[in-house]
Amino acid sequence: MGSFDGRRVLLVGTGGIGAAVAERLAAEGARVFGTYRSDDAGAAALGARLPAGAWAGCAQLDAADPQSAHDVAGPGGLAASALGGIDTLVVTAGHRHPLAPLTATAPDVLEDIVRTELLGPLLVVRSVLPGMLEAGFGRIVLVGSDSGKAGTLGDAASSSARAGLHGLARAVARETARADVTVNVVSPGPTDTGLLAGMLAADGLTGKVMAGTVKAVPKGRTARPEEIAAAVAYLASADAGFTTGQVLSVSGGLTM
């Protein structure tokens, strides 16, 4: 414990896995600034649960809007001002939508999914990098999904966006490695969050596909959010300085 003493974390997405990440890093000494797209009450509740002094505040963020990304995540932005700089970025952005065949999904829905799950992380990473490169240290962890490896029936846009995170991490890792800025992806399988519970309870293709996915996990259960947070904590740690451009599946063997 204490391996994150003095660390300054920008967390994009404060529900489910994001909340578990905040709790893990704060317990080890980090200060966390959270962002949310719409659930301001959830972000405030997370901040209230963290140890005293660990929560640096929160702000609404439309990560796919370049100006919003800059104003929150850029040098001199809301997060950097509250934290005194950003040395760690964790992005857990996800889009809630029912599953449907590609031909039955409206183009505007496809665009919104890709904007949320790929363009948003891309713009936030772009915004935080100048400060990390100037400081000569940074840890960036993008939380995606194993759908980016295997594809999910009825989820072409999200599977494409999640695969895109792998390319984003590898390309930026090559640009930043000598500055001791690492960029990695944690790729969860089905995880016990409110999002998964809602999908399992849904009618039609969504419930059927998600039930089949959970059944296919070799470990025979879903992940706990804390297990995903543990993988994030390792990749965000100083000990992971020689690990960059990697995709780590935490999926109970689903895509081994």
Res 196: pLDDT: 83
Residue 36 structural domain: 8-243
Residue 188 forms part of a structural domain: yes
Residue 3 forms part of a structural domain: no
Residue 62 forms part of a structural domain: yes
Give 6-49 pLDDT, tens digit per residue: 999 999 999 899 999 999 999 999 999 999 998 889 999 999 99
Number of domains in the chain: 1
CATH code assigned at 203 = 3.40.50.720
Residue 221 forms part of a structural domain: yes
Is residue 1 over pLDDT 60?
Answer: no
Give 55-109 pLDDT, tens digit per residue: 999 999 999 999 999 999 999 999 999 999 999 999 998 898 999 999 999 999 9
Query: What is this structure's pTM?
Result: 0.95
Q: Predicted confidence band at 2 (pLDDT cuts at 50, 70, 90)? A: low
Average pLDDT over residues 142-162: 94
Residue 113 forms part of a structural domain: yes
Residue 224 forms part of a structural domain: yes
Residue 248 forms part of a structural domain: no
Question: For residue 98, which of 206, 213, 13 has the smallest C-alpha distance?
Answer: 206
* Most confident of the following: 1-10, 91-100, 179-188: 179-188
Residue 1 forms part of a structural domain: no
Place of tokens 């930026």: 172
